[in-house]
Amino acid sequence: MPSGTKSNPWLISGFLLAVFLLSWHFFTMRPTFDPRGMTEEQLQLMEFNGDIVKTPDGGYTWNPEKEKVKGVPGPLAVLDKARAELAEAFVKKGTNDHGIAYLVMYTVSRFAAGFLAASVVAIMVGILLGLNKVLFRAVNPYIQILKPISPLAWMPLLLYTVKDPKWTAILVVFMAALWPTLATTAFGVNSLRKDYLHVAAILQLSWIKRLFKVILPGAAPTIVNGLRISFGSALVAVVPAEMLLGELGVGYLSWIEWNNLDIAGVIFAILVVGFVGVILDSGFNKLAGLVTYQE
């Protein structure tokens, strides 16, 4: 452990979190209901409108149900929501009401399917283009046109052609993850040092050995960089795809809580999306560490 003279980054992190939570709490706090100066009719009207409710001891408080959509909920409200959701994490209440653990699992597997399929296709095509300069030049204009198209823009067309929101969501992730990996793989293979290929040629390596012993490991650091960009863009695409398609997942959660006007639920869903991103990202970094090398 570092000595006391060096400041610990965790202390600063904790301090920043505490400052954030406290200010969040105080800025969103609302004064308790004060019936003083109000006539009985006014109180009855407010109760009739649902603004306030009677407490067991005869007083009045703000209606907690109406409070949910007044202003922004504080951290305690979000914590209550989180506790309730996590307690039912593995419960399926109905076809569209699955516990949070299921929703995370759906999103992660949807993401993984689209991202892995896109990576395999992009790396294979990228290697082909990287090895053949003429082909690369022929195809490059199309890549440049297709690359900047938002993956979500494909959604109506995909939905129309595959006619299944489940596959459409995966394909949107696929489209988001395809181009960065494709472009960087082609670049990485193309700029692989000629010496390595010369050694492979002199040693008369078969094309399979050439691919797996020389080209892929040689281009791996560049390919991983492309995958990282693809990863980010796929992660950005998966949430709105779920929202728009109504496919169960963390993106869907945030949208359904908005439809329920449960703002605490919306905030909770945002936190879950961040949490899922962290899980996927750390998994990716572990994978990346295995294949990169130093020049």
Separation of alpha carbons 114 and 103, rounded Å: 17
Out of 170, 214, 223, 248, which residue is the one contacting another protein (CB under 8 A)?
214
Dihedral pair phi/psi, residue 62, rounded to 5°: -60, 145
Q: Are 223 and 190 in contact (CB under 8 A)?
A: no
**Alpha helices (runs of H) in the chain, residue ranges in sequence order:** 9-28, 40-49, 64-67, 75-87, 100-131, 133-146, 155-162, 165-190, 194-202, 207-209, 216-245, 250-259, 263-291
In the region spanning residues 115 to 134, those forming contacts with another protein, defined by CB under 8 A, are none
DSSP 152: G
Separation of alpha carbons 18 and 14, rounded Å: 6
User: Does 195 contact another protein by CB under 8 A?
Assistant: yes
User: Does 294 contact another protein by CB under 8 A?
Assistant: yes
**In the complex, least distance from residue 213 CB atom to another protein, rounded to whole angstroms:** 7
Out of 5, 32, 95, 204, which residue is the one contacting another protein (CB under 8 A)?
204
User: Does 223 contact another protein by CB under 8 A?
Assistant: no
Q: Are 158 and 170 in contact (CB under 8 A)?
A: no
Q: Name the packing angle between helices 216-245 and 250-259 (round to 10°).
A: 20
Q: Of 82-90, 108-116, 182-190, 215-223, which segment contacts another protein by CB under 8 A?
A: 215-223
The residues facing 53 across adjacent strands are 61
Out of 72, 138, 203, 287, which residue is the one contacting another protein (CB under 8 A)?
203
Q: Of 128-136, 181-189, 209-217, 237-245, which segment contacts another protein by CB under 8 A?
A: 209-217
Q: Of 24-32, 62-70, 213-221, 271-279, which segment contacts another protein by CB under 8 A?
A: 213-221
Q: Of 163-171, 202-210, 227-235, 244-252, which segment contacts another protein by CB under 8 A?
A: 202-210
Residues that bind another protein (CB under 8 A): 193, 195-196, 198-199, 201-205, 213-214, 217-218, 220, 293-295
